[in-house]
Structure 1
C-alpha cells in the first residue's frame, strides 16, 4: 500500500520542522557554553525539550510511513496517525515554556503541556502499534 497524500504532507512538514530542532541545537550549544544565561532548571529543561522534539519528530515520520497499512478509521485513525506528531509539539513546548523567565526555581503552569503530550504519545503509540500489529497478523 502506498503512503496516502495526507501522510506525505505531514511527513514533509515534520521534515521541515526538524530544521527548527537543528537551530534549537545551536541555541542549546550557546546555553551550554555560557553565551546565553540559564540556570540549572533551564539547562536541563532545554536539553530535554530539544531531545524530545528530535526523537518524536523522527518517530512520527516512521509511524506515518506505515500507519496506512493499519486500516484504522474514525477517532482511532486520528489518534494513531496524529498522536505522536501532536506530542512532538506539545512535549517540547512544555519543557521550553515551563522554564522561561529570569531564574525560575521550578517549572511554571506550561508544564501541563508536557503531560498533555505524554497522553498523546502514549495513546498514539498504543493505537498505531495495535493497528499495525493487527494488520500484520491479518496479512499472514
Structure 2
C-alpha cells in the first residue's frame, strides 16, 4: 500500500471509535435511559448499523483497489464514495428524527437517499475498476 492509502485506512479505523460511542448511545436508548420514540429508536438503529457496515465496506474497497493496483484516479473514487456514504447515510437517519417526539422523518431523510446514490456510484466504480484492472493484467 502507498502512504496515502495507509494514512486513509488509519483514519478510517480511528473513526470506528465514534461508531463505538454510538453503540453506547444505542444501549441507553434501548435500555430506556435515553428518551426516544419508536421512530427514533428504529432510525437510530439503522444509522448506527449503516455506519458500522459502510465503514468496514469502505476499508475493504480501499484495500482491494490498492492490492489490485488499480490506476489513479479510479483507485480513490470508488472507495471514497463508499466512505462518504458511510457519513452521509447515517447522518440522514440520525438527523431526520431529531426533536422531542417526531412522528415522521424530517427533510434531512434525503441524506439517506443521497448516501445510497453515492454508495452505488462508489461500488460500481470499485467493481468496474477491479474487473478492468484484472482483465488488463
Alignment-derived partner of residue 108 in structure 1: 106
Instruction: Confirm or deny: 8 A CA contact 1:60 1:85 kept in the other structure.
Output: yes
- Give the secondary structure class of the aligned counterpart of 2:33: coil
Query: How many angstroms does 1:77 deviate by?
Result: 4.8
Instruction: Confirm or deny: 8 A CA contact 2:79 2:126 kept in the other structure.
Output: yes
Instruction: Confirm or deny: 8 A CA contact 2:79 2:123 kept in the other structure.
Output: no
Alignment-derived partner of residue 71 in structure 2: 71
Instruction: Confirm or deny: 8 A CA contact 1:63 1:128 kept in the other structure.
Output: yes
Greater Cα offset, 77-86 or 111-120: 77-86
**1:1-140 aligned within 5 A:** 3-68=1-66, 69-73=69-73, 76-139=74-137
**TM-score normalised by length of structure 2:** 0.93
Instruction: Confirm or deny: 8 A CA contact 1:48 1:95 kept in the other structure.
Output: yes
**TM-score normalised by length of structure 1:** 0.91
Unpaired stretches in structure 2, ≥5 consecutive residues: none
Unpaired stretches in structure 1, ≥5 consecutive residues: none
CA RMSD of aligned residues (A): 1.3
Instruction: Confirm or deny: 8 A CA contact 1:91 1:113 kept in the other structure.
Output: yes
Q: Which runs of 4+ in 1 moved over 6 A?
A: none
Instruction: Confirm or deny: 8 A CA contact 1:80 1:123 kept in the other structure.
Output: yes
Partner Cα separation in structure 2 for residue 72 and residue 118 of structure 1: 24
